[in-house]
Amino acid sequence: MSSNNLKNCGLGFAVLTTLCACSLNRTAARVTSGVIDRGLPAVFSQADTQYVKEALPANLQLMEILLKSDPDNGKMLVNTAQGFCGYALMFLEDENPGRASLFYAKGEAYALSALKGATAATAKKSDVPALFWRNFCRASYININRDKPEAIAELPALEPDLEKLLTLDPGYYYNGAQSLLGAYYSMRPRMFGGDPDKAIAYFKLALEGPG
């Protein structure tokens, strides 16, 4: 065999090996994604919050590593968004609002990637988890940055997404759309559409609904 043929064979083998490795990494990421999807609710339902506080960062890091191998994995993107937002809400808002803001922004970015361009006008029921966590992260970010005009300016963008969630799946995540609409109407100043009565009504629906 000539040296050129040997080089070509070597190159072909290297490419094949790389493709196989990428495929194996992606397969492993998807298998692990399913495990995390089933296990994440158990983490957040732990009665020992200190355990959750200590355990969750490693899980978040693992999910980010897996996304490097499978960046279009919608389920993993949504779980990562939920993880960052949940951790910020439970452990960072009171002690470190600046860091909580970073976690919320990161969570929103992952959820936005999971939406793959879907908007309030085009979202389908399969987009509900990503749409919900995108707006949960965004609403939470606005709530702890109400002293910043640029954060308050984002409020109107929430409403069409939340109304769409209410249409597609009002019971998702314990009537989450109603809870977010309650937060939305309570955060907005009255002169810009805020309505305490509407907020209370939506919070009641969230508590009493079937979700």
- How large a percentage of the chain has pLDDT more than 70? 77
Do residues 90 and 51 touch, judged by C-beta distance below 8 A?
no
Q: Where in the sequence is the domain holding 78, given as residue range(s)?
A: 3-208
For the whole prediction, is pTM greater than 0.85?
Answer: no
In this predicted model, which residue has the larger pLDDT, 6 or 181?
181
Q: Are 7 and 48 in contact (CB under 8 A)?
A: no
Query: How far is 184 from 195, CA to CA, in rounded Å?
Result: 9
pLDDT digits (tens, 9 = 90+) for 59-98: 899 999 999 989 999 999 999 999 999 999 999 999 999 9
Spatial contact of 114 and 105, defined as CB atoms under 8 Å apart: no
Q: Residue 90 carries which DSSP code?
A: I
Q: Give tens-digit pLDDT for 96-149.
A: 999 999 999 999 999 999 999 999 999 999 999 999 999 999 999 999 999 999
| Long-range contacts of residues 161-167, Cβ cutoff 8 Å, at least 24 apart | 161/120, 161/131, 161/134, 161/135, 162/135, 163/120, 164/120, 164/123, 164/131, 165/128, 165/131, 165/132, 165/135
CATH number of the domain enclosing 44: 1.25.40.920
Contacts of 73 (CB under 8 A, 6+ apart): 29, 30, 33, 66, 67
Tokens 């597609």 correspond to 168
Judged against a pLDDT cut of 50, whether residue 9 lies above it is answered with no
Confidence of residue 185 (pLDDT cuts 50, 70, 90): very high
| Confidence tier at 10 by pLDDT (50, 70, 90) | very low
Measured in residues, the chain has a length of: 211
Which residue do the tokens 């999910």 mark? 63
| Total structural domains within the chain | 1
Q: Does residue 84 contact residue 106 with C-beta atoms inside 8 Å?
A: yes
Instruction: State how far the Cα of 1 lies from the Cα of 117, in Å rounded to an integer.
Output: 51
pLDDT band at 6 (very low <50, low <70, confident <90, very high): very low
Gap between the Cα atoms of 2 and 107, Å rounded: 54
pLDDT at residue 13 is higher than 50: no
DSSP SS3 for 2: coil
Q: What is the DSSP letter of 53?
A: H
The residue-averaged pLDDT of 148-167 equals: 94
Q: Tell me what the mean pLDDT of segment 2-6 comes to.
A: 49
